[in-house]
Amino acid sequence: MKFIDEYRDPLLAGKLLERIARLALSAGRQMTIMEVCGTHTVTIGRFGIRNLLPENIRLISGPGCPVCVTSIHDVDSALFLAGIPGVIFATFGDMLRVPGSQGVTLQRVKARGADIRVIPSAVDCIELAGENRTKEVVLMGIGFETTSPTVASVVRDCKERGIKNFSVFSVHKVIPPALKVLVDDPALNIDGFLCPGHVSTIIGAEPYTFVAEAGSSAVITGFEPVDILEGIFMILGQIREHKKTVAIQYRRGVNPEGNLRAKELLNDVFKPGATSWRGLGMIPDSGLYFREAYRNFDARLRFDIPPLESVEVTGCRCGDVLRGIISPRECPLFKSVCTPLNPLGPCMVSTEGTCSAYYRYH
Amino acid sequence: MCLGIPGKILSIDEHKRAVVEISGVQREVRLDLIAEATEPGDYVICHAGFAIHRIDENLAQELLDCLREIAGT
Ligand code: SF4
């Protein structure tokens, strides 16, 4: 398939690996590279890239799986909203099996009779709201900058059309503030980041400037094996030159300035605010909340979410996995108790969660 | 969740909805998030029912050729 197969070319991948090996050898030290996005993690697992790299390159997985970083409190709030009589709770499929406190999931709430619909796109909410005028359609607004503009677009559309029985529970998050936390963490000491390609399609290159200023490479990288290898190759090149910059490997998918229209839309509907990430805790300006003009679409205002006492699953180390502090194999529950069929934490639920990717491919 | 898949635009209607071929399957995506003019035959990166980027085919080809040269294939 065009724009995919070329970037899976084994010959090209092999040559890049040779180049990487040479650079790694001349560096003569241990280097740590973080792949930020869950989709990177899946490609790396699926094509066995971790095992093909020279031993002195350590690839660690980052916080780029939206379902995984959603706090248990937000999961509990979603469970509450989904259980309100008269609510149609619309969500992307990944959320269904994420356990909240006491292991309750949306799937379980659905089995008990809640009206939960799995939708591939926020656009589907427009039809849902139109066909069910006596019900309240609530969308689980989850995802990074790749996804949030699609939700913003639907919200603006609903406002223009005067659709009133639709709201969004926004737990959207933005990536750069989370990266800032990782860059500033002295325990991690990351030489370079493979920055998320499709988040960058929207936000462009500029928001990563602080990474380079802090002395790490930020290479915006695509999702095919050749992309990942070229991204690593570019980071090693920067290390050799002692020049850390923001660079775009995934140029076919990312303009340096990002997607201006999507950014404008995002900024029109949402404003940044502090939010809590699983594993990383509260991060300023890393969440998206409705602006005044769109407050009617805010599920947090429309429904009275009571204060919920959320408790994390005992023993699950998703938080440490998301910060790159441990690899899933170091979690005592990995594969023994926690499996994709019986996931204890979100990192095992989501197909792009680090634990699930390690389970399938290592 | 940030999966974006390249697809080829087959047709566009007056509401900026396009039918796109992705891995041999036809899907409807919205073009509202793209400022550039698009027409059937163009490739776009699709995510959650929206096209989020138009791929510049010439640029993509140039970059790939350049990478091949650097890598020595
Ligand atoms: S293996 Fe399971 S229990 Fe352990 S960190 Fe991953 S999701 Fe949590």
Q: Is A328 in the pocket of ligand 1 (CB under 6 A)?
A: yes
- The alpha carbon dihedral of A317, A318, A323, A326 has a sign of positive
Do A139 and A11 share a domain, yes or no?
no
Q: Which of A86, A143, A89, A75 is nearest to A118 (CA)?
A: A89
CB-based contact A262 B52, cutoff 8 Å: yes
Residue A144 lies in a domain: yes
Atom of ligand 1 nearest to the CA of A331: 4
- Domain span at residue A61? 2-66+175-248
- Is A165 in contact with A137 (CB distance < 8 Å)? yes
Does A61 lie in the same domain as A108? no
Cβ–Cβ below 8 Å for A3 and B3 = no
The pLDDT value recorded for residue A14 is 95
- Global confidence as pTM: 0.94
Q: Is residue B24 very low, low, confident or very high in pLDDT (cuts 50, 70, 90)?
A: confident
pLDDT of residue A114: 97
Ligand 1 centroid–CA A272 distance in Å is 30
Looking at the fold, whether A62 and A75 belong to one and the same domain comes out as no
pLDDT at A187: 84
Contact A94 B8 (CB under 8 A): no
Residue A210 falls inside a structural domain: yes
A161 and A184 assigned to the same domain: no
My answer on whether A73 and A149 are in the same domain is yes
* CATH value at residue A295: 3.40.50.11740
Chain B hits for A201, Cβ within 8 Å: 4, 45, 52-53
Residues A204 and A89 in one domain: no
- Is A313 inside any structural domain? no
- Count of alpha carbons within 13 Å of A289, Cβ hemisphere only? 11
User: CA angle, A175 as apex, B37 and A120 as ends, to 5°?
Assistant: 60
Atom of ligand 1 nearest to the CA of A348: 7
Select the more confidently predicted residue: B1 or A152.
Answer: A152
Contact assignment for B2 to A198 by CB distance below 8 Å: yes
With the C-alpha atoms ordered A35, A182, A177, A331, is the resulting torsion angle positive or negative?
positive
What pLDDT was estimated at residue A305?
A: 94
Ranges in chain A, pLDDT < 50: none
Which of A318, A322, A326, A335 has most ligand 1 atoms within 8 Å of CB, for mutation?
Answer: A318
**Closest C-alpha to ligand 1, atom 1:** A334
Residue B13: what residue type?
D
* Residue in the block written with tokens 């998320």: A196
State which amino acid sits at residue B3.
L
Question: In this predicted model, what pLDDT tens digit does every residue of A43-98 receive, in sequence order?
Answer: 999 999 999 999 999 999 998 899 999 999 999 999 999 999 999 999 998 899 99
Nearest protein Cα to ligand 1, atom 3 = A316
Mean pLDDT, chain A, whole residue set: 95
Distance between CA A298 and CA A302 in Å, rounded?
6
Judgement on whether residues A180 and A227 belong to the same structural domain of the protein: yes
Summarised one tens digit per residue, pLDDT across range A245-296 is 999 999 999 999 999 999 999 999 999 999 999 988 999 999 999 999 999 9
- Looking at the structure, do residues A278 and A170 belong to the same domain, yes or no? yes
pLDDT of residue A8: 95
Q: Which domains does chain B have, with CATH numbers?
A: 5-71 (2.30.30.140)
Q: Count interface pairs A-B at CB distance under 8 A.
A: 125
Closest partner residue to A120 (CB to CB) among B24, B48, B52 is: B48
Number of neighbouring beta carbons within 10 Å of residue B25: 8
pLDDT at position A351 is 85
Report the alpha-carbon distance of residue A60 to residue A65 in Å, rounded. Answer: 14
CATH number for the domain that contains residue A26: 3.40.50.11750
Regarding whether A168 and A38 lie in a shared domain, the answer is no
A351: Cα separation from own chain's centroid: 12
Determine the pLDDT at residue B11. 96
Give every CB contact of residue A127 below 8 A, 6+ residues apart in sequence: none
Instruction: Tell me, yes or no, whether A254 lies in a domain.
Output: no
Query: How much distance in Å is there from the Cα of A167 to the middle of ligand 1?
Result: 32
A345 assigned to some structural domain: no
Among chain A residues, CA nearest to B62: A252
**Cα distance from A280 to chain B (closest Cα, Å)?**
19
Domain contains A145: yes
Task: Say whether A270 sits in a helix, a strand or coil.
Answer: strand
Minimum CA–CA partner of A120 in chain B: B48
First to last CA, chain A: 27
A71 CA → ligand 1 middle, Å: 15
Give the number of the atom of ligand 1 that is nearest the alpha carbon of residue A318: 5
Is A194 contained in some domain?
Answer: yes
In this predicted structure, the answer to whether residue B1 has a pLDDT above a threshold of 80 is: no
A142: tokens are 């989850």
Are A127 and A236 contained in the same domain? no
Q: Which residues does chain A have within 8 Å of residue B59's beta carbon, measured at their own beta carbons?
A: 251-252
Residue A79, amino acid: L
pLDDT for the residue A102: 85
Q: Which amino acid is at A155?
A: V
Cβ–ligand 1 distance for A344 under 6 Å, the answer yes
Pairwise CA distance, residues A166 & A265, whole Å: 18
How far is C-alpha A278 from the geometric centre of its chain's CA atoms?
12
A276 and A215 co-located in one domain: no
Q: Do A103 and A75 meet the contact criterion of CB atoms below 8 Å apart?
A: no
Q: Which of B48, B49, B52 is opposite residue A259, by nearest beta carbon? A: B52
**A12 within domain boundaries:** yes
User: How many distinct structural domains can be found in chain A?
Assistant: 2
In the reported structure, the alpha carbon of residue A129 is separated from the centroid of ligand 1 by a whole-number distance in angstroms of 37
A252 with B63: Cβ contact below 8 A = yes
Mean per-residue pLDDT of chain B: 93
Q: What is d(CA A188, CA A186) in angstroms, rounded to the nearest whole number?
A: 5
Query: What is the structure's pLDDT at A85?
Result: 96
Q: Nearest chain B Cα to A197, which residue?
A: B2
Residues A212 and A224 in one domain: yes
